[in-house]
Structure 1
């Protein structure tokens, strides 16, 4: 099964109170987080690492000290020296999300917010941009971010990131609400998607070649994951 995990970053941490999460990550992650000038990206870095490491420790039943990562050709991280387990992490605003699967998987989370919707003409396939522009203005931001997370999850499952243009493929929903991908009009039926609304106006999307997605994300707290990491030391 494709596991989907989510964690809401406490407001205090987003505002700069980072002592607790800093104690739970390796020195390299601490240093990377502290290089940020603003507390929000620092908190996102820390909580993304905590969620990823704690869930993988549980799944593999190993201590955190034995978790090692390597990067693929386009920078997508994977477990070093282990096969049969893939993961992907995303963060946006006060949320971090993680997907874990036997096969390559991509996840993206985004909260609906103000944005220049003209970006759709640049980054979306023509059919997608037309669908967006046909909506009432009030419904366009939610459509934009719903579609954006699906497209990002596609790219991250492939491990290409933005090296592959977002407008090089199309995402569409069928009459039964099934989400499908195609390129140049050719369907890609081996790809499957699942989208969750984890709070009002916050979309979490997952893409994988498997289709046994979790019915709902598992939500976690810092206290819970802190205990998991400490227990595995």
Structure 2
């Protein structure tokens, strides 16, 4: 089963100093060169949350986990040895971490207005264009394509026009492509919090993912298990953790 763990960006503002302790210094230095603080925080929250979640599954310290990049740039766990795969995405006020015991891709996008006709033509085949009638349709299909490219590990080394989404249900589709690495992948999508589209991709096909969204007290519980800080305070009395 695919697990989709969703974190609002507000958690990064509230817990930035502790999240930074979970990320190697060289990686932090790279992000600090970004101009916008919000961009830094999205990356910090995404990578710190990934390390926290994997540390619980792999029974190790978050900082002990090592990643390496595949030829096209997809990060995979190199230490400790593990059957788990991960993928991350962030947009606007949300960060999502996908975990699965097989290759997985995920994408989340905040709706940013109606796309131009030329953009639709450059991303979708004529058959796909027939099903794009609204901004929501565009982002749903776009997220599904990007999730497939991320699951395959190719990124945009392969053009979005070189894969076609063939619907198998209202919310799922199979990927048809001349590239064997993409052909046969399965994608699913949904609307998230009214103005975001969320999509995931896997091979073999899966049912609905397990959704887990986090509030402040839930993130703090994860941090407290792995970060030793004498002045760690302000623990919430009530949890906002819920599964959907």
Q: Partners in 2 of 1:157 and 1:103 — Cα distance?
A: 10
Encode CA deviations 1:160-196: one digit per residue, 9 max, x unaligned: 0000100101113245654222126x9x884222223
TM-score (norm 1): 0.85
SS at match of 2:89: strand
Which residue of 1 is the match for residue 240 of structure 2? none
Distance 1:180 1:76, change over 3 A: same
* RMSD, aligned CA: 2.5
Offset of residue 224 of structure 1? 2.5
Matched, 1:4 2:13: no
SS at match of 1:74: coil
Which residue of 1 is the match for residue 26 of structure 2? 28
Which residue of 2 is the match for residue 67 of structure 1? 65
Q: Is the 8 A contact 2:31 2:40 kept in 1?
A: yes
Q: Partners in 2 of 1:212 and 1:55 — Cα distance?
A: 21
Which residue of 2 is the match for residue 114 of structure 1? 113
Distance 1:222 1:23, change over 3 A: farther
Which residue of 1 is the match for residue 233 of structure 2? none
Offset of residue 128 of structure 1? 1.7
Offset of residue 215 of structure 1? 4.3
SS at match of 1:217: strand
Which residue of 2 is the match for residue 94 of structure 1? 93
Matched, 1:168 2:166: no
Which residue of 1 is the match for residue 147 of structure 2? 153
Q: Partners in 1 of 2:124 and 2:45 — Cα distance?
A: 30
Q: Partners in 2 of 1:28 and 1:168 — Cα distance?
A: 36
Encode CA deviations 1:112-166: one digit per residue, 9 max, x unaligned: 112542311112222222432xx2xxxx211111001000010000000000100
SS at match of 1:59: helix
Q: Is the 8 A contact 2:115 2:135 kept in 1?
A: no
Query: Across the two proteins, how many residue pairs are aligned to each other?
Result: 223
TM-score (norm 2): 0.81
Structure 2 stretches of 5 or more lacking a match? 228-244
Which residue of 1 is the match for residue 239 of structure 2? none
Which residue of 2 is the match for residue 198 of structure 1? 192
Offset of residue 95 of structure 1? 0.7
Q: Is the 8 A contact 1:6 1:98 kept in 2?
A: yes
Distance 1:18 1:83, change over 3 A: closer
Q: Is the 8 A contact 1:196 1:216 kept in 2?
A: no
Encode CA deviations 1:189-208: one digit per residue, 9 max, x unaligned: 84222223221121111100
Matched, 1:179 2:178: no
